[in-house]
């Protein structure tokens, strides 16, 4: 159950205020951008490189100077239309989902699902937030024993209703994926992890060939020669779906064999670490992208 929090989250005041209004700090800026499908990565209240990139994307969309900062013109254009936090109440269904994640590939293949391990992980991902921020917003919660009915403060985020995309652009150097409509209006901006090895980074025009929400994952030991366990496994394994699946909660195939756009079990690492070769997004961004794209849609990969 979700209810609107009675007061705003800004540290500057706890008094009720009217909306819409400009964001007051980095946390509120990240929330306001997220509501436009302009993601700064896991919402954490930290004014880092992904927040600067998200602000620059908004500034381009709003035809403002691309400073990447919350300057006066940007503050005037970017507004919060409702309280930035909501109260989330933990349910019995939430607790029923939880299960430990096996540490081995074989063990993961034998699980019924690769679902959340903890309530902290579940609510953080629901609100596009980092676990550290979720802890800071709820300092009195005992996260090792969260009961049904526990009320938690989390960012109030929801993406706009999905529209049909015309194309996407992945910029490798900036580690970002952006989606546009037929009039080149920005529909979404997401941080993106890319291949660690340059020779595994495709470029040029690719196309979407298949779309799979909540996919399973085929573990091919030949793809992971650095894994001691993989060197011992002689056959492929099928891992069940779930947010802790290696490709997260969504998979979008591209017309280069073995390449795709997908989610991840570690959304806070997106854009900060590198992948085996695919394009990795936070689960919530991959889920939204699935609703925008279509088979045959072009994806342009630029340096």
Output the CA–CA distances (angstroms, integers) from residue 24 to 9, 53, 62, 129, in the order listed.
10, 19, 19, 18
Residues 112-124 as b/e (b if ≥16 CB within 10 A, e otherwise) read: eebbbbebbbbbb
Closest by alpha carbon to 4, among 104, 83, 97? 83
Total count of residues recorded for the chain = 303
Look-up of token digits 């989606």: 179
Q: What are phi and psi of 155, to 5 degrees?
A: -60, 140
Give the model's pLDDT for residue 249: 98
**Rounded to two decimals, what is the model's pTM?**
0.91
Q: Which pLDDT band holds residue 9 (cuts at 50, 70, 90)?
A: very low
Domain boundaries, the chain: 20-77, 167-214+249-302
What distance lies between CA 269 and its chain's CA centroid?
A: 10
CATH of 167-214+249-302, one of 3.40.50.970, 3.30.70.141, 2.40.440.10, 1.10.490.10: 2.40.440.10
pLDDT of residue 289 exceeding 80: yes
Q: What is the pLDDT of residue 271?
A: 86
* pLDDT tens profile 180-198: 999 999 999 999 998 766 5
Does residue 12 contact residue 21 with C-beta atoms inside 8 Å?
Answer: no
């Amino acid at each position: 159950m979700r209810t609107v929090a009675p007061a705003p989250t800004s540290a500057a005041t706890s008094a009720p205020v009217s909306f819409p209004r400009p964001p007051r700090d980095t946390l509120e800026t990240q929330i306001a951008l997220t509501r436009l499908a302009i993601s700064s990565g896991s919402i954490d209240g930290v004014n880092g490189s992904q927040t600067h990139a998200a602000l620059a994307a908004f500034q381009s969309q709003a035809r403002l100077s691309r400073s990447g900062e919350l300057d006066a013109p940007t503050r005037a254009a970017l507004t919060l239309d409702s309280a930035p936090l909501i109260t989330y109440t933990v349910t019995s269904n939430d607790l029923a989902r939880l299960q430990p994640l096996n540490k081995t590939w074989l063990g993961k293949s034998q699980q019924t699902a690769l679902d959340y391990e903890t309530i902290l992980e579940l609510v953080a991902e629901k609100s596009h937030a980092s676990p550290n921020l979720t802890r800071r917003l709820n300092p009195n919660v005992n996260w090792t024993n969260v009961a049904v009915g526990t009320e938690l403060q989390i960012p109030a985020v929801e993406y706009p209703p999905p529209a049909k995309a015309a194309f996407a652009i992945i910029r490798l150097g900036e580690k970002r994926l952006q989606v546009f409509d037929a009039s080149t209006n920005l529909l979404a901006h997401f941080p993106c992890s890319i291949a660690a090895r340059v020779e595994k980074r495709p470029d040029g025009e690719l196309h979407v060939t298949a779309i799979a929400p909540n996919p399973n994952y085929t573990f091919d030991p030949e793809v992971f020669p650095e894994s001691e366990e993989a060197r011992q496994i002689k056959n492929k394994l099928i891992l069940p779906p779930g947010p802790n699946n290696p490709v997260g909660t969504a998979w979008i195939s591209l017309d280069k064999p073995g390449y795709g756009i997908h989610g991840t079990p570690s959304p806070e690492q997106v854009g900060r670490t590198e992948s085996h070769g695919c394009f990795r997004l936070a689960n919530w961004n991959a889920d939204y992208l699935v609703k925008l794209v279509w088979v045959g849609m072009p994806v342009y990969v630029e340096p």
